Chains A and B, each alone.
Chain A
Amino acid sequence: MTSNSTPLYEVRSVSKNYGNVVALRNVSMSVGAGEIVGLVGDNGAGKSTLVKILSGVYSPDSGELLVEGVPHVWKSPHEAMAAGVETLYQDSGLALDLTIGANVFLGREKVKKGFLGKLGFLDQKAMDQEAADDLERTGIAVHASKRTVGQLSGGQRQAVAIGRAVAWAQKVIILDEPTNHLGARQAGEVLSVMKAAKARGLGVIFISHTLPHVLEVTDRIIVLRLGSVVRNAPTSEFTAESLLGTITGLHVGTE
């Protein structure tokens, strides 16, 4: 759907049920390189479910996932990460008892050189240093010191999670309500981080209930309602009012 080239990451006709609850029904969407796609919808519309399918936490009941046109089946979130898809989960992907550095490198730890490394001994110093650099590069100044993430404020935690996702993302970055817990100024910074990621050529999927943010930063908006895509159009086609109307379903004549 972006220009003519193959989208970076695409889902086709994905459905997902939780028992009797139909969370997603025949959903198709895609994101291209250097594109920010907004994913909006009311509470319970199925946004986070779609995110978890995109990131490999859940597998869809039916439908296909394609990275650069190649079908993929994620057996674990790790496989999606290895394919270049990074995710910031709405319900925290951080281990609060671990330090900032440990969280940034969680699951991708650096080990010492030589025999100790073979035994799995960690090169904590290198990780702390690199984590601090990574976070700073994305514009986040939290010292990746001995402090655990649980000792940070809600906003600082969110910053670490975003920083981690941005630092590792190679192709696509999915941010599920990243501006939660953030003050107005910090939320603005998250939007800049997204723009920077876009400038790096990443595909960005941005989920938010703050519609002005969505309208400001996205190139295209996908509206989910009760598990179905009800609108998929360039951001320029929406006004604040029409977007709200599409989300709630009270707006006539947009479908």
Chain B
Amino acid sequence: MSIIVDPVQESSFEKPDRSQLWYRRLLANQQFLLLLVTIAIFVFFAFNRHVFASAGEFGNNVTNFCTLVLLGVGETYVIATGGIDLSVGSTVSLSGVVGAIAMEHLAMHSELLVLSVGTVVCIGIGILVGVVNSALIHYARLVPFVATLVTWGAGAGMCLVLTGGAPIGQNSGAIALTVPKIWIFSYPALIIIAITFVAGLFLHLSRFGRFTFAVGSNAFAARAVGINVKRQVTSVYVLSGALAGITGMFVYMRLGSGAPTAGTGQELIAIAAVVIGGARLTGGSARLSGTVIAAWMITIVSSGLIFMNVSPNYNQVAVALLIATAATAQALRKSARQSS
């Protein structure tokens, strides 16, 4: 039996891939480019302010990175399915607030017990938000943007109702835990980095990740081969919520209290990290390594701008510029590929 695909056409397809020099392949890789840019930014800030290259400042940046990266991880999964999760910022606040209330009630007990219960409560709240999000998507038939906008607003409102606007609790022991203990890493930071790593393995190497991308790439095709699309979508929103809950606990520990505005605006930064990391907002394509590098980049840009005494408004402009650059790079590479 002969061959359907024209062998000439086939080899012309293979050729550029094989003969391409290694550095050209690397340069075509958005994550690698991102890494180069991040290093360049770091060098720039370090030259301006030497403290930027100190272990102390690395420690600060790791802490800040850890308040962002898990939101980016969850958002990467969600965006890979073609959805979006706007609720994560309020979920950080809400889980921190509810966790703080729970921990206040346990104040008599041992620190370990209190913090464990707090963590469980925070993750529980996150999962709850994820379940509500997917219920709104599947049963109320809202598109993800609207569904998570609803929980975003509801979460922020609940925070104010529960706290009356003021932070809850005052836990110095929790604050102490966020201090770097192993070189530039605190214990919670190590846990968060480990979760990020495992989440990356699952996204790119497991069946769960494969289904996630399949749903975002072509939901009809996924359904046709027997993938339970609803269950997959539910899982990623629950995952995103749970990761926001863990972040909520981490922020609680940083502040030593549950603040109603602790996570305000974080959802947009997380989405920015995913987009800068090279994911496609319409779903089907994302790299967790990209999100992680982008989260680190956003973290050091924010710190660097503080050191340079720049108004926070420019911080937002900087992030916007990074997004625009990343999106343009993506579009350019795509059109280059299509015309070759």
Nearest-neighbour CB distance to chain B for A182, whole angstroms, equals 8
Does any Cβ of A come within 8 Å of B52's Cβ? no
Known: A95-B221, A189-B4, A196-B1. A77 touches B226 (CB 8 A): yes
Does any Cβ of B come within 8 Å of A190's Cβ? yes
Complex CA gap A122/B285 in Å reads 18
Does any Cβ of B come within 8 Å of A209's Cβ? no
- Is B221's CB under 8 angstroms from A109's CB? no
Does any Cβ of B come within 8 Å of A81's Cβ? yes
- Is A77's CB under 8 angstroms from B217's CB? no
Over the window 78-97 of chain A, the binary record of Cβ atoms lying under 8 Å from chain B Cβ atoms (1 yes, 0 no) is 11011000010101111111
**Which chain B residues lie closer than 8 Å to A155 at the CB level?**
4-5
Q: Chain A, interface size: which category?
A: 35 or more
Complex CA gap A136/B151 in Å reads 50
Does any Cβ of A come within 8 Å of B164's Cβ? no
- Is A107's CB under 8 angstroms from B5's CB? no
Nearest-neighbour CB distance to chain B for A105, whole angstroms, equals 9
Complex CA gap A98/B222 in Å reads 11
**Which chain B residues lie closer than 8 Å to A87 at the CB level?**
224
Within B167-207, which residues are at the interface with A (CB < 8 Å)?
201-202, 205-207
Does any Cβ of B come within 8 Å of A159's Cβ? yes
Within A193-238, which residues are at the interface with B (CB < 8 Å)?
193, 196
**Which chain B residues lie closer than 8 Å to A196 at the CB level?**
1
Nearest-neighbour CB distance to chain A for B80, whole angstroms, equals 9
Binds A, one of B7-15, B134-142, B301-309: B7-15
Does any Cβ of A come within 8 Å of B112's Cβ? no
**Which chain A residues lie closer than 8 Å to B1 at the CB level?**
138-139, 189, 192-193, 196
Complex CA gap A19/B185 in Å reads 60
Nearest-neighbour CB distance to chain B for A35, whole angstroms, equals 21
Nearest-neighbour CB distance to chain B for A185, whole angstroms, equals 8
Does any Cβ of B come within 8 Å of A11's Cβ? no
The chain B residue with its CB closest to the CB of A79 is B226
Nearest-neighbour CB distance to chain A for B258, whole angstroms, equals 34
- Is A96's CB under 8 angstroms from B2's CB? no
**Which chain B residues lie closer than 8 Å to A190 at the CB level?**
4
Helix, strand, loop or mixed for chain B's interface?
A: helix
- Is B10's CB under 8 angstroms from A142's CB? yes
**Which chain A residues lie closer than 8 Å to B108 at the CB level?**
none
**B206 contact from A55, A93, A120, A138, Cβ within 8 A:** A120
Known: A107-B227, A190-B4. A141 touches B10 (CB 8 A): yes
Known: A98-B214, A192-B1. A89 touches B224 (CB 8 A): yes
How many pairs of A and B residues are in contact by the CB < 8 Å rule?
125
Within A28-73, which residues are at the interface with B (CB < 8 Å)?
55, 57
Does any Cβ of B come within 8 Å of A170's Cβ? no
Does any Cβ of B come within 8 Å of A252's Cβ? no
Nearest-neighbour CB distance to chain B for A116, whole angstroms, equals 9
Does any Cβ of B come within 8 Å of A244's Cβ? no
Complex CA gap A111/B90 in Å reads 37
Does any Cβ of A come within 8 Å of B44's Cβ? no
- Is B218's CB under 8 angstroms from A141's CB? no
**B217 contact from A96, A147, A159, Cβ within 8 A:** A96
**Which chain B residues lie closer than 8 Å to A94 at the CB level?**
218, 221
**Which chain A residues lie closer than 8 Å to B3 at the CB level?**
139-141, 189
Nearest-neighbour CB distance to chain A for B60, whole angstroms, equals 35
Complex CA gap A37/B1 in Å reads 22
Known: A78-B225, A139-B1. A95 touches B14 (CB 8 A): no
Complex CA gap A225/B115 in Å reads 69
- Is A121's CB under 8 angstroms from B206's CB? yes
**Which chain A residues lie closer than 8 Å to B223 at the CB level?**
57, 76-77
- Is B4's CB under 8 angstroms from A97's CB? no
Does any Cβ of A come within 8 Å of B216's Cβ? yes
- Is A120's CB under 8 angstroms from B208's CB? yes
- Is A111's CB under 8 angstroms from B207's CB? yes
Within A116-144, which residues are at the interface with B (CB < 8 Å)?
119-122, 124, 138-143
Complex CA gap A139/B7 in Å reads 12
**Which chain B residues lie closer than 8 Å to A193 at the CB level?**
1, 4
Nearest-neighbour CB distance to chain A for B229, whole angstroms, equals 10
Within B266-292, which residues are at the interface with A (CB < 8 Å)?
280, 284-285
Known: A141-B5, A143-B14. A77 touches B225 (CB 8 A): yes
State the 3 A-B residue pairs at the shortest beta-carbon distance, nearest first.
A78-B226, A107-B225, A97-B284
Q: List 24 A-B contacts (CB under 8 A).
A: A57-B224, A76-B226, A78-B225, A81-B225, A89-B220, A93-B218, A93-B225, A95-B222, A97-B217, A98-B210, A98-B214, A98-B217, A106-B225, A107-B214, A107-B222, A119-B206, A120-B202, A122-B207, A142-B10, A151-B337, A155-B5, A156-B5, A190-B4, A192-B2
Q: Told that A95-B221, A143-B10 touch, could you supply 10 new A-B pairs with CB distance under 8 A?
A: A77-B225, A93-B224, A94-B218, A97-B213, A102-B214, A106-B214, A107-B214, A121-B206, A138-B1, A140-B4
